[in-house]
Amino acid sequence: MRLDETSYALARDLTTTAVHLEASWHVPPTLARTASDVVATRWIDRRGSGTQTAITPLDRYVVRVFLSATSMRLDADGRPVVSGALAAGSVHVSLPGQALTMSLDGPGDTLQWYLPAPFVHEAARGMDCVALLDGLGFGGMYRDGAIEQLAFALLAANTGSCMPGTAGHFATAVLSRLFQLASAPAVTALDPVKLAIPRWRMQRVDAYIREHLGDPISLAAIAAAAGLSPMHFAARFRIATGQRPHHYILRARIEHAKALLASSERPVVEVAGDTGFRTQAHFTTIFKRFTGATPCAWRREHALVGTAAGSSSVGADSSANGC
């Protein structure tokens, strides 16, 4: 089922659906929202739609998780938040009434929680973090593997029949993690000046990983690419990215696999080998953990228009591409 041929099958039953399609950027579906409800949405732009503007609802905080890497500029109230490449797993928190402008240079895929202000304040009181909500300190960019996995877990739960309040239960865990990050030293935020590993070292790490996605990648190898000892690198890498090196490498492999699946008809077993997985079964397990779908299901949903030899062979001729 293609994204441009379906309503995403999320708004058919509002009582059992945890995640709703966001037709307009930063605007939750009206039917899915009541004053006291947590609303979760997914926004997908397959080509990059240029500049978008919106104002965060006055009664809501919005937590946006970037499910895939992209390139963009994001301003909040006229101040730049991020400009350039943005890694998958990045998280943006916008404050009530905040004016946002986003210019997307490529495809985008995000999951949002629209959180009623009383819901956020109650969670903050429970964690003795009310002071974090004063001023602008709570808003901004973060990068965190735990929140990323919570987003994918919610998407996975959404494939079945969800109990009422499912989005809110996940949101409570997300807020708990965000309060923890906001209370920690500023190196957890996406501030290149304060990163535990300087940007130029991280660029070397990323370049090494890109060049060796089909090969085994050891901690010693990427530490050497950064010019650090393995022990020093591992400790500072976790601070800089919020992830273990192994998880970071896996995500890079999956991002490359997604690009191959979307733009070609290559069999899944070949994609698995080209992204460093020894077996298709292992690849499928890891791919589903990161995306909430199997490689074949993800390909059917995201295949670019014009691939599959200009026909409907993606999905229709599943044996040709290993699906």
Q: Sorting pLDDT into bands at 50, 70 and 90, what band is 314? A: very low
Q: Where in the chain is the domain with CATH 2.60.120.280?
A: 3-188
The number of residues making up the chain comes to: 323
CATH topology of domain 199-321: Arc Repressor Mutant, subunit A (1.10.10)
Global confidence as pTM: 0.61
Q: How far apart are CA 75 and CA 106, in angstroms?
A: 17
Neighbours of 156 (CB within 10 A): 14
Average pLDDT for the chain: 81
Q: CA-CA distance, 241 to 278, in Å (whole number)?
A: 27
How buried is residue 278: exposed, middle or buried, by Cβ count under 10 Å (0-12/13-18/19+)?
A: exposed
How many CA atoms lie within 13 Å of 194's alpha carbon, on the beta-carbon side? 10
Higher pLDDT, 109 or 310: 109
Buried b (16+ CB within 10 A) or exposed e, 40-63: bbbbbbbeeeeebebebbeebbbb
For residue 305, name the pLDDT band (cuts at 50, 70, 90): very low
**Token pair for 107:** 């495809």
pLDDT digits (tens, 9 = 90+) for 14-49: 445 778 888 888 887 765 455 678 989 999 888 776
- CATH 1.10.10.60 positions along the chain are 199-321
Q: What percent of the chain has pLDDT over 70?
A: 80
Specify the amino acid at residue 252.
A
Which residues lie below 8 Å from residue 127, measured CB to CB, with a gap of 6+? 176, 179
Query: Would you state the structure tokens that stand for residue 168, as one six-digit string?
Result: 């809110």
The answer to whether the beta carbons of residues 118 and 130 sit under 8 Å apart is: no
| pLDDT of 140 higher than 50 | yes
DSSP 177-197: HHHHHHHS-GGGBS-TTT-SS
Q: Architecture of 3-188 per CATH?
A: Sandwich (2.60)
pLDDT digits (tens, 9 = 90+) for 141-155: 888 888 999 999 998
Beta strands in the chain (DSSP E): 19-21, 39-45, 50-55, 60-66, 70-76, 79-86, 90-94, 99-104, 108-116, 140-143
d(CA 297, CA 1): 9
Kindly list the distances between the CA atom of residue 129 and the CA atoms of 64, 65, 174, in Å, as whole numbers in the listed order: 21, 22, 14
pLDDT tens-digit map of 184-230: 654 444 444 344 677 788 889 999 999 999 999 999 999 999 998 88
pLDDT for residue 168 is more than 60: yes
DSSP secondary structure code for residue 303 in this structure: P
Query: How many angstroms separate the CA atoms of 222 and 301, rounded?
Result: 34
